Amino acid sequence: MKYTITKDPHEDERVQKIIEISGQNIFSCYQCGRCSSGCPMAEFMDVLPNQVFMFLQEGDVDTLLNAKTPWICAACFTCTVRCPVGLDLAAVMEAIRELQLRKNYDYVDPYKVEEREELPPIAMVSNFRKFTP
Amino acid sequence: MAMKRIGVFICHCGRNIAGTVDVKRVAEEIGKREDVAFSTTYVFMCSQPGQKLIEDSIKKYNLDGVVVANCSPTLHEKTMRNAAARAGLNPYRVEIANIREWAAWPHEDNPEAATRKAIRIINATIEKLKANASLEPIEVPVTRRVLVIGGGVAGMQAALDIADSGIETILVEKEPSIGGNMFRLSETFPTLDCPQCILTPKMNDVGGHPNIKLYTYSEVEDVEGFMGNFKVKIKKKATYVDWDKCTGCGECLRVCPAHVDSEFDLKMAKRTSIYIANEQAVPLKALIDENSCIRLQFEKKVKEGKIKPKKNVKICSKCADVCEPNAIHFQNNEEIVEEEVGSIIVATGYEVMPAEAFPELGGKYPDVITALQFERLLAPSGPTAGIPRRPSDGKIPKSIAFVHCVGSRDPQNGVPYCSRICCMYTIKQAMLVKHALHDAAVYDFYIDIRSNGKGYEEFYHRAKEEYGVNFIRGKVSKVYKVGDKYRVQGVDTLTGRIVEVDVDMVVLATAAKGSSTVKELAKKLRIPYDEWGWLKETHLKLKPLETPVGGVFIAGAAQFIKDITDSVSQGSGAAAKAMALLSKPQLEKEPLLAKVDPEICAGCGRCKDQCAYDAITIDPIRHVSVVNEALCEGCGACSANCPTTAIQVVNFKKGQVVRAVDVLAEVF
Ligand SMILES: Cc1cc2nc3c(=O)[nH]c(=O)nc-3n(C[C@H](O)[C@H](O)[C@H](O)COP(=O)(O)OP(=O)(O)OC[C@H]3O[C@@H](n4cnc5c(N)ncnc54)[C@H](O)[C@@H]3O)c2cc1C
Ligand code: SF4
Ligand code: SF4
Ligand code: SF4
Ligand code: SF4
């Protein structure tokens, strides 16, 4: 496993986008790991919450867009409450999801869903989100 | 007269002793001795009531000797002796039996054996004590002057504090200017003060202080004597310039055609053969480096007969030609001066390992430099005026990698310890790069960030949050050249993968070691040092400024690498130690020294050969050994080697020691 840094991660557009959407300075994370040790979903994740920050700090957004972690995150805010530097990790998770969603891929075609009239609208909405990656 | 009314006081030390040793039984056993008039136990002998118990018992039972059975004598021998003195008993009639470190602690698992061993230790101590003589401290005269070796920030602080108290101080610095390594720095963490601004006032104070005699470009040649009375020979190295005349105008520097690497700029710039250490040097004086001066080299070769001077050939004297006050005389003016002092402070600082020692990390390339060299490139007064440039081609770097722990925490390739300041200065340098070059990419490869000082962790967070420095956790394994760039191969242990980045320059935070000259100096002073050149303190926690040689103190990075705050504190601390020593007209010294019985002594001189302190001479007329009480440390090496027992240490006489050993050696 090797990663080559090709430009200053601070200058990476997608990292800047995530900072903009979440309102969080992801570079202030100093890798204490407390978010991961307290996350109720961490054991099901492929990238630990603290590693999410490390990937961002290295400008490696691709790995995060391909990871399951942002979609497994339950947005419970446990990490946010516990982060010693006051980072809103849940907001960063949402920003990563947002980045993916804004690609506007439709993995689910609503017109092909059977009995769609019967489904409650919320089920459709969450379907779009959950099946996005 | 052997003692007959001894008091024995057995300490519980809370549960430290009493938890293992049956102290009651020990007191009873010892109490059965005929020469013991009183024997008891107490929970803490060192407490005030404990000391009171000794005082009262001495009076009540008219004791003529005391054994306190407790912890190591290094801790409380003095406490107990003082208590006895208060009750009118000569303090040298008190001995400590160490039953904590020798009986209770090592035999926690066997209380019965520990108890019997404690009894035995006390019995042996009583045997020794019985023949103790009453003694008075010895008084030695003292010279009220101090020598400080090393003119870095620690040495300067020490010199200023002492001089301010009215004591004359001699400061010896091996370089042409005082200031030390701090004067090389760009800005200082965690406040980002400019050292040139905050240090020059101190340097000028030292240079102009009526109580400070400054010898720069000088080294200590020889040290004789003892606490309160040292005789020091100082070598003033040859400058070939008359400093009384030199005004520091710098005209000579402009005409000198010979150029070499600048020591002050650590090879990051050149200087001329005649040079002034730096623009703010104290003293601001020019000197000629004989190894590069065209004229001096020529003269040397002529002298050695290697070349024959042709007539009418003018040899370079450009500097002398332009020197208005006629200060440049080209004469070897090396000189040895002697000074007498009562105390010595060693503040010789540190050096860093060179980049070349780490070829795998690119140390062989010109653009891979040490952090101390990089300080010069970041310093506004440095060769690049504070805008870092690549040494190879003068280009302004667009990306820089910093590597922590180079040689530190690495006993295989460097030193086992953490060099303590490099995390902080690397963070500082990364920040300063961002100040100087806003769009340069900065990568900081670290194992862990050690930021344990006031304001340090906050400083680190500022670098992360506000300065745009990229921190990557993992030690770099190699740096190699790829085109015009240097490829840094590291690892990110947090995400678990190798990380590679190409940069224009690499800065190595190389390990710190003691000054390379310090071992030789330490030998002259007879003070101990370790294999990395750090001077050894008497006790790491409780006597960090003291050395085993009375009157010699250490301060600053000479003891171990430390930051400026700690160096200055130690400078002041050592100054206080020296001043306390010189505050009395006479020094008191323990009288437990070697004594010669001239009736027995045959003058063979075996004792003299053994003495590490040069305290013994053989009287040429009477042909007997004579001990200089001021020099003798009472170590006993002489006595062990005397074939006739003529020389013995007071209160450690042969009979005393042998009787004690006999008791200890009985079958258990
Ligand atoms: C790259 C780098 C950056 C740093 N940045 C900072 C910072 O930002 N903030 C901070 O607090 N600290 C910093 N430090 C640490 C700082 O340099 C030291 O704390 C400080 O210089 C120690 O002062 P000192 O007087 O004990 O030793 P030194 O500064 O080393 O002075 C010792 C003096 O003794 C002289 N000497 C040596 N041997 C002899 C001898 N045999 N006879 C006569 N004289 C002798 C030397 O020439 C020198 O002048 C940095 C260190 C490095 C390596
Ligand atoms: S918000 Fe997400 S990442 Fe944070 S603790 Fe909850 S599940 Fe874990
Ligand atoms: S708790 Fe905060 S600082 Fe610690 S690793 Fe998680 S995000 Fe970073
Ligand atoms: S004699 Fe010439 S080479 Fe020597 S210091 Fe003077 S100018 Fe320089
Ligand atoms: S201070 Fe930091 S860089 Fe220096 S040796 Fe210690 S951990 Fe390594």
Strand partners for B260? B271
Tell me, yes or no, if A8 comes closer than 8 A to chain B by beta carbon: yes
B337 CA to chain A: closest CA distance, Å? 57
Tell me, yes or no, if B117 comes closer than 8 A to chain A by beta carbon: no
Residue B89 has pLDDT above 60, yes or no: yes
Q: Whose CA is nearest to atom 3 of ligand 3?
A: A29
Reported as a pLDDT band with limits 50, 70 and 90, residue B641 is: very high
Instruction: Please tell me the predicted confidence (pLDDT) of residue A119.
Output: 83
Cα A63 to ligand 1 centre (Å) = 46
Give backbone dihedrals phi and psi of A127, rounded to 5 degrees, phi first. Answer: -60, -45
Predicted confidence (pLDDT) per residue in A60-116, tens digit: 999 999 999 999 999 999 999 999 999 999 999 999 999 988 887 767 777 888 887
Domain with CATH 3.30.70.20 in chain B: 593-649
Nearest residue of A to residue B470, measured between CA atoms: A57
Across B443-470, b (16+ Cβ under 10 Å) vs e yields bbbbbebbbebeebeebbbbbbeebbbb
Predicted confidence (pLDDT) per residue in B325-365, tens digit: 999 999 999 999 999 999 999 999 999 999 999 999 999 99
Say which DSSP state B241 is in.
B
The first and second tokens of residue B658, run together, are 């042998």
Predicted confidence (pLDDT) per residue in A26-57, tens digit: 999 999 999 999 999 999 999 999 999 999 99
The residue-averaged pLDDT of A20-30 equals 97
The answer as to CATH 3.40.720.10 being correct for domain B145-237+340-349+515-581 is no
Its ipTM equals 0.87
Mutate to test the pocket of ligand 3, among A37, A48, A53 (most ligand atoms within 8 A of CB): A53
Residue B110 has pLDDT above 80, yes or no: yes
Residue A133 has pLDDT above 60, yes or no: no
The first and second tokens of residue B147, run together, are 């020598």
Reported as a pLDDT band with limits 50, 70 and 90, residue B145 is: very high
B499 with A11: Cβ contact below 8 A = no
* Angstrom distances, CA of residue A66 to CA of A18, A46, B346: 15, 10, 61
- Is it true that the peptide bond before B106 is cis, omega within 30 degrees of 0? no
At how many degrees (to 10) do helices B371-378 and B422-436 cross?
Answer: 30
B493 CA to chain A: closest CA distance, Å? 10
Burial class of B591 by CB neighbour count within 10 A (0 to 12, 13 to 18, 19+): middle
Residue A132 has pLDDT above 70, yes or no: no
The domain made up of B6-137 has a fold known as Rossmann fold (3.40.50)
The residue-averaged pLDDT of B234-248 equals 98
The residue-averaged pLDDT of B434-451 equals 97
Instruction: Please tell me the predicted confidence (pLDDT) of residue A124.
Output: 77
Residue B322 has pLDDT above 80, yes or no: yes
Nearest to B47 by CA among B88, B13, B18: B13
Give the Cα-Cα-Cα angle B237, B300, B261 (nearest 5 degrees): 60
User: In this structure, are residues B594 and B632 in contact, taking their beta carbons and an 8 Å threshold?
Assistant: yes
User: In this structure, are residues B281 and B176 in contact, taking their beta carbons and an 8 Å threshold?
Assistant: yes
Average pLDDT, chain B: 96
Q: Which of residues 68-107 of A touch B (CB under 8 A)?
A: 85
**Which of the residue ranges A96-100, B350-354, B369-373, B509-513 would you say has the lowest mean pLDDT?**
A96-100
Instruction: Please tell me the predicted confidence (pLDDT) of residue B285.
Output: 98
Architecture of the A9-102 domain: Orthogonal Bundle (1.10)
What is the C-alpha to C-alpha distance for residues A115 and B271, in angstroms, rounded to an integer?
A: 87
Predicted confidence (pLDDT) per residue in B181-206, tens digit: 999 999 999 999 999 999 999 999 99
- Residue B408 near ligand 5, beta carbon < 6 Å: yes
Domain with CATH 3.40.50 in chain B: 6-137
A3 with B473: Cβ contact below 8 A = no
Torsion of CA B328, B330, B332, B335, to 10 degrees: -10
Domain with CATH 3.50.50.60 in chain B: 145-237+340-349+515-581, 350-513
- What are the residues whose beta carbons fall under 8 Å from the beta carbon of B139, sequence distance 6 or more? B586, B587, B588, B589
Predicted confidence (pLDDT) per residue in B536-592, tens digit: 999 999 999 999 999 999 999 999 999 999 999 999 999 999 999 999 889 888 899
Instruction: Please tell me the predicted confidence (pLDDT) of residue B43.
Output: 97
Torsion of CA B198, B403, B560, B203, to 10 degrees: -20
How, if at all, do strands B478-482 and B485-492 pair? antiparallel
Pick from B460, B471, B500: CB nearest A4: B500
The residue-averaged pLDDT of A117-132 equals 74
Reported as a pLDDT band with limits 50, 70 and 90, residue A1 is: confident
A103 CA to chain B: closest CA distance, Å? 26
CATH for B593-649? 3.30.70.20
The domain made up of B350-513 has a fold known as FAD/NAD(P)-binding domain (3.50.50)
